Amino acid sequence: MNIVRGNLRRNSLVDDPSEFSHTFDNFKAPEGSKEAQMKALARSIAGEYFKDKTTKFNTLMYGTPGEGKTHLAMAMLNAVNKYSDPPQTCLFINVNSLFLAIRDSFDDPTAKWTEKYAVRQLSKVDLLVIDDLGSESAMNASKSEASNFIQRVLYQITNRQKRIIITTNLTMEQLKKSYNPKLISRLLAGSKGHQLDFSGIKDKRY
């Protein structure tokens, strides 16, 4: 496997390894449904990333849990990773897994996922998925401290990385309440026309 294309499986932090198998082909979307509409939009946006690795914009996929956001985000990444020529480095990061790994590094000097390593890795790839933004807020009882630390790390990443696909179960209003304006500005950079509202889709997990 090409070393660039292999980066996706080698360095990603997924909630469940089965997520690597998510593609457009195995995303169930009845004709005429909102799922089909989201799938078509995601495929179109993936095409924009695929055709020109210098194009810089973020994509936001939001709605309640279980609507297929993670599936389509991985499908977009898999498509770009498989077909781009020359290859583009792709990375899928579950945000909760990321911050748990960084926290673990505080007590383990040999740990791979330090804050510095995370910022460097996530900033240098050609296309990044940040999955389940907002889930990290439940990590710590000390919400304000966690929030400051999390926002600092996310700001460093989004200030450097200009091609991010973000999934979240938060509404736009909740996002703006959860993160400071400077970070929101970075998260939403270039996302006009690239925001997918999944609300109203039946939970696909059951």
**What are the pLDDT digits (tens) for 127-169?**
999 999 998 876 555 554 448 899 999 999 999 999 999 999 9
pTM for the structure as a whole = 0.93
Helices (H) and strands (E) in the chain, counts: 8, 5
When divided into structural domains, the chain yields a total of 1
pLDDT digits (tens, 9 = 90+) for 79-137: 999 999 999 999 999 999 999 999 999 999 899 999 999 999 999 999 999 999 998 87
In a domain, 165, yes or no: yes
In a domain, 204, yes or no: no
CATH number at residue 53: 3.40.50.300
CB 73 within 8 A of CB 131: yes
For residue 65, whether the previous peptide bond is cis, meaning omega lies within 30 degrees of 0, is no
In a domain, 67, yes or no: yes
In a domain, 133, yes or no: yes
In a domain, 10, yes or no: no
Domain range holding 138?
33-180+191-197
